[in-house]
A and B are shown apart, each in its own frame.
Chain A
Amino acid sequence: MNTKKVVSNVVRYFVYALVILFFAWAIKNQYFDYMFSQSKTFLLLLKQHLQLVFVSSILALIVAVPAGILITRKQFRRAEWIVSNTVNFGQTIPSLAVLALMISILGIGFKTAIFALFIYSLLPIYRNTVAGIDSIDENLIDAARGMGMKPYQILFRIELPNAAYSILAGIRTAVVLNIGTAALAYVVGGGGLGVWIFTGIQLFDNGYLISGAIPVTILAILVDLLLRLVERIVVPKGTKQTLEM
């Protein structure tokens, strides 16, 4: 127990030290300068990046959560393997390939990037919605039916609240992944912070690279924290404690 603690602390402080060293190195070499000297461009790219993530995630949410709910209804159960395999298949295609495929259909630009990111976000949300609903004890549903709850009451008062933790975890995974993947939007002319990252790579300019990559990382961390906060508010107290036990 104690050695475990010591090891985890050592690793933690080692990582902290590396991060500090990295920032010291980057600041010393003035790698963050572009963020300030070209602040207008930076803000525009940041805005584009946020739009890409936000729009594609919302779309994925609107499609994947209801799909997960529908497929767990008795009358649609039989279609589960088709839907699940389709969504799984979408995930197995490398993200770059999805982008390339989309170019041939939608051309280049913002929409193509949105669509590709959307496809890519579906699986984690869908899968966690289904898993969350499936994990609910059948006896609970039986009790609810036996007490005369209508199907929609069972869904909104029993199934969704008890699956909330899993569904939100799926959304968090999808959005955080999405923030990273959105950097690839540059490839299809979708804008975003990927523009600076790829420029940096092509010009061997660490300044562009770091000014693009670090904000993406920080963004992912911040959004992750934000969604954890949402989770704390939305997930019912009673189910949370059972999960933590």
Chain B
Amino acid sequence: MITFDHTTKTYEGDVTAVKGVDFTVEKGDIVVLLGPSGCGKTTLLRMVNRLESITDGKIIIDGQDSMDLNQIELRRKIGYVIQSNGLFPNMTIEENVMIVPDMLGWGKKEKKERFNKLMEMIGLSGDKFGKRYPHELSGGQQQRIGVIRALAADPPVMLMDEPFGALDPIIREKIQDEFLQIQREVKKTILFVSHDIDEAIKMADKIVLLRGGEIMQYDTPSEMLVRPKSEFVYEFFGKDRAIKSLSLHTIENLKNIIGLAEFDESIPDTKTINIHHDLRNTLSMLLNQEADQVIVTDDAGNKQGAITIDLVQKYLHYEIKGKTNVVQKG
């Protein structure tokens, strides 16, 4: 869907922000551009909709060289979300969201329907919020509006520049989940800039790790955590990367590979946990000693077995030491 072909950005002749980057973003994927500040991730993102010019190389979007397209039309086909939400204070929420459809000449009825549908996606009432102004909304609501504004004209591609960076951790996590839910429905091709490792692991189908304008590694989050290609990647994800990688797996994954333990009905201090819970949170729960036994249940509430720290450790061992090893399925 988006191919970077030796894409390079040089400022004023000598400062190179992006050095000959090559990679392809598959249709429907979220690719997170991750790296320390000054690594060129935002510049690279802004080159896609040509807010930054391309010094050398190409960016090919859906088979077309972006330089062959009209700049204005190109931008209207690409959703753009920025950290500070960028809502226009002089316009109502509805006007803000409908800017691109409006410029594309949509009809009144069509716009109204689209607006209500988008608002429904983020769980806000279109009738209630449509006539309000941005300053009347909370930070989290504003950022949600910023996201649906980018989705308004249903662009195939979205660019998101640290879209949840300014939110407090609790709201951020909630909006991330909500956004992943929306993405499952709309399946956009998304480039997402982040400097937050946890966010990248959570959101990404694939991560581009950048340093000094060059790609250090382009891989799925779990590959990057488990098999870092260089010292830099290894250091970047930190010593706790094994724990971080656990958030990519659910209890269900564990059950499918090594199985769960038998549970004991006679233990009184028991807690239950849903099978779709990720292993990182599950491990924290186990470490917190919240109960003597943790029983895993499926969506219907049926008990599937018990989970223990031991099992998580075994699973991790399997993940890191290689999928080639034969593991006994218990």
A residues apposed to B, CB below 8 Å: 137, 139-140, 142-150, 153, 157-158, 161-162, 236-239, 241-242, 245
Contact = CB atoms under 8 A, between A and B. Distances in A.
B301 interface: no
B100 interface: yes
B100 A148 contact: yes
Contacts of A137: 84
A65 B88 CA distance: 22
Contact of A242 (B80, B91, B103, B135): B135
A88 B225 CA distance: 61
B170 interface: no
Nearest to A146: B80
Interface string B40-60: 000000100101000000000
A224 B264 CA distance: 83
A239 B89 CA distance: 5
A128 to B, nearest CB: 17
A143 B86 contact: yes
A137 B90 CA distance: 13
Interface string B98-112: 011001000000000
Interface in B111-155: 133-136, 149-150
Contacts of B74: 148
Interface string B210-237: 0000000000000000000000000000
A149 B49 CA distance: 12
Nearest to B79: A147
Contacts of B100: 147-148
Given A148-B73, A238-B133, A238-B135, A139 B103 contact: no
Contacts of A236: 89-91
Nearest to B75: A148
Contacts of A242: 89, 135
Given A162-B89, A236-B91, 12 more contacts: A140-B88, A143-B82, A144-B86, A146-B46, A146-B159, A149-B103, A158-B88, A158-B90, A236-B90, A238-B90, A238-B133, A238-B135
A89 to B, nearest CB: 34
Contacts of B91: 157, 236, 238
Contacts of B136: 241
Contacts of B187: none
Contacts, number: 75
Interface residues of B, number: 30
A144 B75 CA distance: 10
Given A142-B82, A150-B72, A245-B135, A161 B90 contact: yes
A217 B184 CA distance: 67
Interface string B75-98: 110101011101111111000000
A153 B136 CA distance: 25
Contact of A142 (B86, B133, B134): B86
A139 B86 contact: yes
A141 to B, nearest CB: 9
A153 B103 contact: yes
Contacts of A140: 86, 88
A150 B104 CA distance: 12
A241 B133 contact: yes
A22 B49 CA distance: 68
Contacts of A147: 75-76, 80, 99-100, 103, 149-150
Contacts of B84: 137, 139
B82 A139 contact: yes
B79 to A, nearest CB: 8
B49 A146 contact: yes
Contact of A238 (B76, B80, B89): B89
B90 A239 contact: yes
Contacts of A144: 86, 88
Nearest to B131: A237
Contacts of A157: 88, 91
B76 A162 contact: no
A164 to B, nearest CB: 8
B135 A146 contact: no
6 contacts: A142-B86, A146-B49, A147-B103, A147-B149, A158-B90, A241-B135
Chain A CB within 10 Å, residue with most, of B80, B83, B89, B90:
B90
B76 A148 contact: yes
A142 B75 contact: no
A161 B89 CA distance: 9
